[in-house]
Structure 1
């Protein structure tokens, strides 16, 4: 029976790796080097092994899309990751993650995450407009696959593979990846500070606060273990220190994901397997070889489904249920139009200012 368990663990791990590869390719398209990101996966697998944590980390489309949107150059983007990771490290080590949620309330946090869903859908549409062949075919395949399977792993696999094949055969697509992305060497990148970097770091931290809580707890629920086995402060600290080290070497960010490894017979082992397989793929330099034939817009379909169908409806429903539904709605709209930090700030300000002026919503 134990042998069968190992096979089930390995299959779950491979499924999550296949989910992560297109997002790793998206990271390369944004100018992040993937070789240094090996460090993040090794560190997180060691921490999960030591503490028995079921929540792994991997490339996450939401944080990549946000960072790519807010930073204009690779240096700005790695600086945003570094700044965001410092904020998250303080939150993780001091154990304030759960306190933030307690203060703001679930409906405001859910409003922010629903707004992120709309942001992702918007980014997906813009991608499809820029690279029409890959983008439009990716969206079409993703919608059909999700309607038939209701499964994100199948959706990302088929839409990315299908749209890449169409792009390669229809337009003879072959990407020229920058040298620093492909190199199997470390380059120290000193962080820079400007308005865009500070704004980006605050936004990334807000997105990660929401993602760590929602994705972390969903991953915990998938194990079927009660009470929820995910230690949110440990998860936040691990992800922050992994990003901090990697970003200084120009590496890609890795964040909390909803991971199918949690439903494997041994969720901790399956999560560690997944991260070690990713580490080998990055260390061996296989990802850039695959990435040459995968257009960045091939992830547009997955982003659209993730944002509009998976993240938005569930979080919007949660946001509208509480007593703070008006504030949550404004948080949602501001996040979608401006960014997550502005959204959370709006929600927090309204929650504390309105009662002071006698306008409890």
Structure 2
């Protein structure tokens, strides 16, 4: 019955990605060319046996909504950011960052990500009380009864979507041009806003690839962590580089419940192929009208507060570097993973040079 669990995990993560896909469409990103990014990700993961899939990421989409003023500008920011990430992936810089900073700071950042996800979940519940509250209630009950992250995401997303559709008559109207099955080449543009945006997006992805990639690896319970951060970074960069020139949406590293499936590589590939099918066929806009963003609130709360935070906080807050790791945790939770890493690096390396430190 492993295949059923693998498929259920894949479907759960697809349901998780639908609200972010809708967010991408509302920002003007075309869905048709984005489908090929998922196919590319599936091919790479199948070739190298990676357990870390790529998909829509709410954090990068939210950042792009603030960084760029037009669709062309946002696509140019994605292109610039992907070039930076490609250099980082090909040179192996990301794994060097993990090695230099040490396990304590990395664990502090990951614990901060857990708190960040929990905060996002509670904000979703505040904004959409019925759908979000249903999602959290079903997720908590399911996890208490099963201790299974796959069933937690599947049942909470389905239950909250049904309540939203039949209880509050939830509907989302989407722009027509973003769902056309056509390619539209966008000539890149360069200005100060694009350059600044590309650097900001790259910084976010550095933190996300480290934190989300390693968290996904932790969900497999395989020791040592099976995620190759350089391969994940290169896959994400190549996918974004191609789709940005055609007006498509960015796909980034995510925390994926497919990693907790019996066959995490197979489940992750299934997820990306299913998402590609939804985008290529035009089904995503139809499904997206009935899945509220708050449907993933329960999954995020369990993932952040129960799965990620306790183990990583315990690792971060022991040993001689606990104070630096604690600062990394707090800054990550309050700002973002990249700011947390920079804070940890400053307190570990720079302040001692000038005679200061904790």
TM-score by length of 2: 0.84
**Distance in 2 between the 1:70 and 1:332 partners?**
25
**Distance in 2 between the 1:131 and 1:95 partners?**
42
Taking a change above 3 Å as real, the CA distance of residues 196 and 68 of structure 1, as seen in their structure-2 partners, is same
Q: Does 1:279 align with 2:279?
A: no
Kindly state the Cα deviation for residue 344 of structure 1 after the two structures are TM-superposed: 1.0
Taking a change above 3 Å as real, the CA distance of residues 181 and 140 of structure 1, as seen in their structure-2 partners, is farther
Report how many aligned residue pairs link the two structures: 347
**Distance in 1 between the 2:33 and 2:130 partners?**
32
SS class of match (1:108): helix
**Distance in 2 between the 1:144 and 1:19 partners?**
19
1:243 to 240, 258, 261: 240
SS class of match (1:193): helix
Aligned to 1:144: 141
CA contact (8 A) 2:38 2:55 kept: no
**Distance in 1 between the 2:142 and 2:76 partners?**
37
CA contact (8 A) 1:182 1:285 kept: yes
Taking a change above 3 Å as real, the CA distance of residues 135 and 272 of structure 1, as seen in their structure-2 partners, is closer
Aligned to 1:4: none
Kindly state the Cα deviation for residue 150 of structure 1 after the two structures are TM-superposed: 2.0
Aligned positions of 1:86-101 closer than 5 A: 86-101=83-98
Structure 2: any 5+ residue segments left out of the alignment? none
Kindly state the Cα deviation for residue 202 of structure 1 after the two structures are TM-superposed: 1.2
1:22 to 8, 16, 22: 16
1:348 to 345, 348, 354: 345
Kindly state the Cα deviation for residue 105 of structure 1 after the two structures are TM-superposed: 0.7
Kindly state the Cα deviation for residue 254 of structure 1 after the two structures are TM-superposed: 3.5
Aligned to 2:37: 40
Aligned to 1:193: 194
CA contact (8 A) 1:17 1:278 kept: no
Q: Deviations over 1:125-174 (max 9, x none)?
A: 22222222212222222222222222222122111111111111222111
Kindly state the Cα deviation for residue 228 of structure 1 after the two structures are TM-superposed: 6.2
Q: Does 1:301 align with 2:295?
A: no
CA contact (8 A) 1:182 1:288 kept: yes
Kindly state the Cα deviation for residue 262 of structure 1 after the two structures are TM-superposed: 7.4
**Distance in 1 between the 2:219 and 2:160 partners?**
30
Q: Does 1:253 align with 2:251?
A: yes
SS class of match (2:165): helix
Kindly state the Cα deviation for residue 27 of structure 1 after the two structures are TM-superposed: 2.7
Of 69-78 and 321-330, deviating more is 69-78
CA contact (8 A) 1:71 1:196 kept: no
Taking a change above 3 Å as real, the CA distance of residues 46 and 194 of structure 1, as seen in their structure-2 partners, is closer
CA contact (8 A) 1:108 1:319 kept: yes
Structure 1: any 5+ residue segments left out of the alignment? 1-6
Aligned positions of 1:1-361 closer than 5 A: 8-9=2-3, 11-30=5-24, 31=26, 32-51=29-48, 53-59=49-55, 63-65=57-59, 67-68=61-62, 71-72=65-66, 75=71, 81-189=78-186, 190=188, 193=194, 195=196, 198-216=199-217, 218-219=219-220, 221-222=221-222, 230-248=227-245, 249-258=247-256, 260=258, 264=262, 268-269=265-266, 271-359=268-356, 361=358
Aligned alpha-carbon RMSD (Å)? 2.9
Q: Deviations over 1:156-215 (max 9, x none)?
A: 211111111111122211111232443333344546616566434312322212222342
CA contact (8 A) 1:71 1:200 kept: no
Aligned to 1:3: none
SS class of match (2:40): helix
